Structure 1
Amino acid sequence: MKETGTKINEIQSDIPGIILLSHGPLASGLLGTMEMVLGTVENVTALELEEGDHTEEYRKRIAEIAEAMPEKSVFLMDIFGGSPFNQVIQYFLENSKEIRAVSGMNLGMLMAAVNARQNNDSDMIEEITKMGKEAVINIGKQWNEQ
Structure 2
Amino acid sequence: MVGIVIASHGEFANGILQSGAMIFGEQENAKAVTLMPSEGPDDLNSKMKEAIASFDNQDEVLFLVDLWGGTPFNQANSLMEGHKDKWAIVAGLNLAMVIEAYASRLSMNTAHEIAAHILGTAREAVKVNPEELEPADSSVAAEPAGQSNTGAPGKFEYVLARIDSRLLHGQVATSWTKSTLPTRIIVVSDVVAKDELRKKLIQQAAPSGIKAHVVPVNKMIELAKDDQHFGGQRALLLFENPQDALRAVEGGVPLETINVGSMAHSIGKVQPNKVLAFDQDDIDAFAKLKEAGLDFDVRKVPNDSSGNMDDILKRAQAELNRQK
Give the alignment's TM-score, normalised by structure 1: 0.80
Q: Are positions 1:101 and 2:65 aligned together? A: no
| Structure 2 segments unaligned to the other structure (5+ residues) | 135-324
Out of 69, 74, 80, the residue aligned to residue 86 of structure 1 is: 74
Q: Are positions 1:57 and 2:43 aligned together? A: yes
Counterpart amino acid of residue 119 in structure 1: S
Match of 2:129 in 1: 139
Number of matched residues?
128
Larger Rg: 2
| 2:2/2:109 contact within 8 Å kept | no
Q: CA deviation at 1:62?
A: 1.2
% identical aligned pairs: 27
Paired residues for 1:1-146 under 5 Å: 15-69=1-55, 70=57, 71-93=59-81, 96-98=82-84, 99-120=87-108, 122=110, 123-141=113-131
Q: CA deviation at 1:127?
A: 1.4
Q: CA deviation at 1:121?
A: 5.7
Q: CA deviation at 1:142?
A: 6.0
* 1:14-66 residue CA offsets vs partner (Å, 9 max, x unmatched): x1111100000110100111111122111111010000102112112212322
Distance 1:143 1:50, change over 3 A: closer
* 1:72-122 residue CA offsets vs partner (Å, 9 max, x unmatched): 2201000111111111111112xx111411000100000000011012265
Match of 1:8 in 2: none
Distance 1:89 1:33, change over 3 A: same
- SS of alignment partner, residue 29 of structure 1: helix
| 2:29/2:54 contact within 8 Å kept | no
Alpha-carbon distance in 2 for matches of 1:63, 1:129: 25
Alpha-carbon distance in 1 for matches of 2:49, 2:131: 43
Counterpart amino acid of residue 33 in structure 2: L
Give the alignment's TM-score, normalised by structure 2: 0.37
Counterpart amino acid of residue 126 in structure 2: V
Alpha-carbon distance in 1 for matches of 2:118, 2:132: 23
Alpha-carbon distance in 2 for matches of 1:65, 1:28: 13
What do you get for the CA RMSD once the two structures are aligned?
A: 1.9
Q: CA deviation at 1:139?
A: 2.7
| Structure 1 segments unaligned to the other structure (5+ residues) | 1-14
Deviates more, 1:121-130 or 1:74-83: 121-130
Distance 1:33 1:143, change over 3 A: same
- SS of alignment partner, residue 75 of structure 1: strand
Alpha-carbon distance in 1 for matches of 2:80, 2:61: 12
- SS of alignment partner, residue 64 of structure 2: strand
Higher relative contact order (CA 8 A, sep 6+): 1
